[in-house]
Amino acid sequence: MSGLALLGVTAALLTGCSAQDSVCGGGEYPVLSVGGTGSACVSDGEQPPKGYVRYPKGKVPREVGDKWDTYWGTHTIDEKGAVVEVPAGG
């Protein structure tokens, strides 16, 4: 490995960079579709669009494939705001 490449890897490790992809880009937060498992990203400071809600505090997916990203693949929030399991195939 060249010295420059090694330096880049070391810098990534020291700055906490992750090999995983973020759910949303910088300046955005994820929202969940009501009654479904779809999601979207909304600009910070903006409200979720109609039909979407913020994830419950402490249950927000941050990286693709993380604990909460996986969880919300089988759960959703219904029209009353309750967290419910999505029916198989749903």
Instruction: Say whether 17 sits in a helix, a strand or coil.
Output: coil
74, 64, 68: which is closest to 54 by C-alpha? 68
pLDDT at 20: 75
Q: Whole-model pTM above 0.85?
A: no
Where in the chain are the domains? 19-85
Question: pLDDT by residue (tens digit) across 54-79?
Answer: 999 999 999 999 999 999 999 999 99
**What residues contact 28, with CB distance under 8 A and at least 6 apart?**
41, 42, 43, 44
Question: pLDDT by residue (tens digit) across 18-30?
Answer: 557 999 999 999 9
